[in-house]
Amino acid sequence: MRGGALRHAVAGVLATVVFLGVADAAARFFAPAAAPLVALGSTVIEVTPPAVQDFAISTFGSANKTVLLIGMIVGGLLLAVVIGVVARRRLGLAAAVFTVVGAALATLVLRRPETDPVDVIPTFVGLAIGLTTLVLLSRRAGSGVVVEDDGEEGQPAPSRTARRAFLGLAGAATVIGAASLAFGRSVSIVGREIGGRAVRMVLPTPAVRAAAIPGGAAVDVDGVVPFLTPADDFYRIDTALVVPELLPEEWTLRITGMVEEEVEIDMAELLDLPMEERHITLACVSNPVGGELVGTATWLGHPVRRILERARPLPEADMVLSRSVDGFTASTPLKALTDDRGSLLAVGMNGEPLPREHGFPARLVVPGLYGFVSATKWVVELQVTRFDRETAYWTDRGWDAKAPILAASRIEVPDPLEEVPAGAVVVAGTAWAQQVGVARVEVRLDDGDWQEVELAEEVSIDTWRQWRHTFDDVAPGQHAVTVRAIDRAGTVQTAERTDPIPNAATGHHRITFTVADR
Ligand X SMILES: Nc1nc2c(c(=O)[nH]1)N[C@H]1C(S)=C(S)[C@@H](COP(=O)(O)O)O[C@H]1N2
Q: Who contacts 12 (Cβ-Cβ below 8 Å, separation ≥6)? A: 80, 81, 82, 83, 84, 85, 87, 94, 134
Rounded CA-CA distance 147/154 in Å is 7
Does 371 sit near Mo ion (CB under 5 A)?
Answer: yes
375 binds, among Mo ion, ligand X, none (CB under 5 to 8 A by kind): ligand X
CB of 235 to ligand X, least distance (A): 5
234 binds, among Mo ion, ligand X, none (CB under 5 to 8 A by kind): ligand X
Q: Which amino acid is at 14?
A: L
513 binds, among ligand X, Mo ion, none (CB under 5 to 8 A by kind): none
239 binds, among Mo ion, ligand X, none (CB under 5 to 8 A by kind): ligand X
For residues 372 and 467, which CB has a smaller minimum distance to Mo ion in the complex? 372
- Residue range at the interface with Mo ion (CB under 5 A); choices 190-198, 233-241, 303-311, 377-385: 233-241
Q: Which of 328, 372, 399, 432 contacts Mo ion by CB under 5 A?
A: 372
CB of 381 to ligand X, least distance (A): 12
CB of 230 to ligand X, least distance (A): 13
Question: Running DSSP on this structure, what letter comes out for residue 27?
Answer: G
Rounded CA-CA distance 276/283 in Å is 21
376 binds, among Mo ion, ligand X, none (CB under 5 to 8 A by kind): ligand X
Task: Report in angstroms the alpha-carbon separations of 471 from 409, 482, 510.
Answer: 18, 12, 15
- Tell me how crowded residue 93 is: count the other CB atoms within 10 A of its CB: 12
Query: Positive or negative, the Cα torsion across 57, 62, 63, 66?
Result: positive
Q: Which residue ranges make up the site for ligand X (CB under 6 A)?
A: 234-240, 282, 284, 324, 326, 328, 358, 371-372, 375-378
Of the candidates 212, 247, 260, 467, which has an alpha carbon nearest to the alpha carbon of residue 362? 247
238 binds, among ligand X, Mo ion, none (CB under 5 to 8 A by kind): ligand X
For residues 284 and 346, which CB has a smaller minimum distance to Mo ion in the complex? 284
CB of 367 to ligand X, least distance (A): 13
CB of 286 to Mo ion, least distance (A): 5
- Residue range at the interface with Mo ion (CB under 5 A); choices 38-46, 122-130, 333-341, 369-377: 369-377
Question: Running DSSP on this structure, what letter comes out for residue 28?
Answer: G
For residues 19 and 328, which CB has a smaller minimum distance to ligand X in the complex? 328
For residues 237 and 411, which CB has a smaller minimum distance to Mo ion in the complex? 237
Does 283 sit near Mo ion (CB under 5 A)?
Answer: no
Label residue 249 left, alpha or beta by phi (over 0 means left) and psi (-120 to 50 means alpha).
alpha
CB of 295 to Mo ion, least distance (A): 12
Of the candidates 350, 376, 352, which has an alpha carbon nearest to the alpha carbon of residue 362? 376
Residue nearest to Mo ion (CB): 284
Rounded CA-CA distance 155/153 in Å is 7
- Tell me how crowded residue 305 is: count the other CB atoms within 10 A of its CB: 18
Q: Who contacts 244 (Cβ-Cβ below 8 Å, separation ≥6)? A: 32, 324, 325, 326, 356, 378
Residue 381: strand pairing partners: 254, 323
Q: Which of 134, 237, 321, 366 contacts Mo ion by CB under 5 A?
A: 237
CB-based contact 403:452 (threshold 8 Å): no
Does 394 sit near Mo ion (CB under 5 A)?
Answer: no
Does 101 sit near Mo ion (CB under 5 A)?
Answer: no
Of the candidates 314, 296, 256, which has an alpha carbon nearest to the alpha carbon of residue 405? 296
Does 284 sit near Mo ion (CB under 5 A)?
Answer: yes
For residues 366 and 420, which CB has a smaller minimum distance to ligand X in the complex? 366
CB-based contact 283:294 (threshold 8 Å): yes
For residues 16 and 239, which CB has a smaller minimum distance to ligand X in the complex? 239
If you write DSSP's letter for every residue of 355-410 in order, what string do you get? Answer: PGGGTTT-EEE-TTB-GGGT--SSEEEEEEE-TTT---TTGGGT--S--BPPPEEE
For residues 23 and 403, which CB has a smaller minimum distance to ligand X in the complex? 403
CB of 266 to ligand X, least distance (A): 19
157 binds, among ligand X, Mo ion, none (CB under 5 to 8 A by kind): none
CB of 280 to ligand X, least distance (A): 11
Rounded CA-CA distance 410/27 in Å is 44
410 binds, among Mo ion, ligand X, none (CB under 5 to 8 A by kind): none
Q: Who contacts 457 (Cβ-Cβ below 8 Å, separation ≥6)? A: 214, 216, 217
324 binds, among Mo ion, ligand X, none (CB under 5 to 8 A by kind): ligand X
CB of 335 to Mo ion, least distance (A): 21
For residues 236 and 508, which CB has a smaller minimum distance to ligand X in the complex? 236
CB of 297 to ligand X, least distance (A): 9
CB of 12 to Mo ion, least distance (A): 39
Interface residues with Mo ion (CB under 5 A) are: 237, 284, 371-372
